[in-house]
Structures are given as C-alpha cells and as structure tokens.
Amino acid sequence: MSIQSTIEAKLTKAFRPERLDVINESHLHAGHHHVDGGHEAVFDGSGETHFRIRIVSSVFTGMSRIERHRAVNGQLAEEFDAGLHALAVEPAAPGEKTRW
C-alpha cells in the first residue's frame, strides 16, 4: 500500500471527513536540501515524502487551528517515523470557508 493510500485510510477512519484530498507534492521539492541519516543530501523529488492534506470534518468543530493540526499529525506518527518529511494541513469544520 502506498503512503498516500495509508494516509487516506487513516484520516478517513479517524475523522469521517465530508471532504478529503491527499495531494502528493514531493515533486515540488526536488533540489531542496535535507538531512538524510545525519548527512545533508539534495532531494530528487521522487517518492512520497511531501503531502498536502485538505480535510473537512465535523470532528474539527470547536477545535483551534493548532489542535486540528495536532490531531492530523498524531494520526500519521508512524508515517513520519517511516520517512514522511513534510505535511501541509488545511483542516476545516463543515460550513467554514476554505481557500480551496
């Protein structure tokens, strides 16, 4: 199972979202420097390391933006441990205005 599929499954189970978009943005980060195994390396943009999450869920009602981010990141702790490098989270409760 791909990391993207795993992320989609975990977030669907945890948040029962009205809308969920998991977008692989790894290719946008090609050429960026990062530390890999204690050594600086240049990322080639391949794989599944950088994602954008757009999610609308009633679970977020009454939660602050930081609480929403923590809730999403908490569901994906194993993926971060396995190599997920960056996650842009755009959470909203139903009826809230989004930029997307």
Instruction: For residue 12, give the CATH number of its domain.
Output: 3.30.300.90
CA distance linking residue 91 with residue 100, whole number of Å:
11
Is residue 11 within 8 Å of 17, Cβ to Cβ? yes
Residues 6+ apart with CB under 8 A from 11: 17, 20, 22, 53, 55, 72, 75, 76
Work out whether strand 33-36 and strand 39-42 pair parallel, antiparallel, or are unpaired.
Answer: antiparallel
Domain housing 20: 3-92
The number of distinct structural domains making up the chain is 1
Tell which wins on pLDDT, 31 or 21: 21
SS3 13: helix
**100, part of any domain:** no
Q: What is the pLDDT of residue 41?
A: 46
Q: pLDDT grade, residue 12 (50/70/90)?
A: very high
**57, part of any domain:** yes
**97, part of any domain:** no
Query: Directed axis angle between helix 65-75 and helix 3-15, to 10°?
Result: 120
pLDDT digit string, tens, across residues 24-81: 998 664 544 455 566 554 444 456 788 999 999 999 999 999 999 999 999 999 999 8
pTM of the model: 0.81
Q: What is the pLDDT of residue 46?
A: 55
Q: What is the pLDDT of residue 49?
A: 85
